[in-house]
Amino acid sequence: MANMNFDRKTLRELADDGNETALDRLADLADEEGDLAELSELLDEGSMRAGLLLTRRAAASGDLRVLQRICDAGYEEAGNELDRLLKAPAGVGRDGGAEGEGVSGCGART
pLDDT value, residue 101: 44
Across the chain, which has 110 residues, the per-10-residue mean pLDDT values are: 71 96 96 96 95 97 96 96 91 49 51
Q: CB-based contacts of 31: which residues, under 8 Å, 6+ apart?
A: 39, 53
Asked whether 46 and 73 are in contact (CB, 8 A), the reply is no
User: What values do phi and psi take at 107, rounded to 5?
Assistant: 80, 0
pLDDT of 2 reads 45
Angle at CA of residue 94, ends 35 and 70, nearest 5°: 40
pLDDT for res 91: 64
Q: What is the pTM of this model?
A: 0.78
Q: Does an H or E element contain 80, and which?
A: helix 76-87
Measured over the CA atoms of residue 37, residue 39, residue 43 and residue 45, the dihedral's sign is positive
